[in-house]
Amino acid sequence: MVEGSSSILVLLLARGPITQVPPVSRIYGSPPIVSRSDSMADGTAAARERIAVSIVVRVLQGVLWSGDLWVDGMRGASWRRSESEALGPECALVDQPPGTAQREISVTLRRPGRLTDAPDMLTVDARWTRPSQAGCGGTSTVELGQSLALALAPGAAQTLEGDGGLIVKLRRR
């Protein structure tokens, strides 16, 4: 035995064995009461309502894309197509580093988070990127501008016009 350890053992034995465990206090409270106002429940139901919107995106040269997107108040919807390729042989004569020709079109729909105030509201973003008019490098982008908010009731249609001849037609189904 190590010197001094016997005095600790004697001290523990002098106190006697522990025969009683102290009681555990149990405090049971009522569970919290969770309530929702009717407007909150209506807002949740409206946020989960899925709506279909038919979309046609066009420019003067023709239709870039048409299709349907489903959107609800919790998730937006988007569609995008992107292409990138080497510049054509006509650009080899241009005194500049090799580049790429890029084309992209995108459409995004969102519904505001607080649908109880405006259940038919949508925000729309649309963008079209294409090679610049010079054709040998660089791009030109046309869009609706900032996100446009609009009311689109069931069965209603709206046409939005952006810069560069970009036209977006929306119809709520």
Structure tokens at 3: 């010197």
pLDDT of residue 49: 81
Residue whose C-alpha is closest to residue 111's, from 173, 43, 36, 169: 43
Q: 5-38 pLDDT, tens per residue?
A: 555 555 555 565 556 656 666 666 666 665 555 5
150 forms beta bridges with 122
Distances 126 to 50, 61, 64, 78 between C-alpha atoms, Å: 21, 17, 11, 10
Alpha helices in 38-95 (DSSP H): 38-48
Pairing of strands 167-172, 51-59: antiparallel
Residue spans of the domains in the chain: they are: 39-172
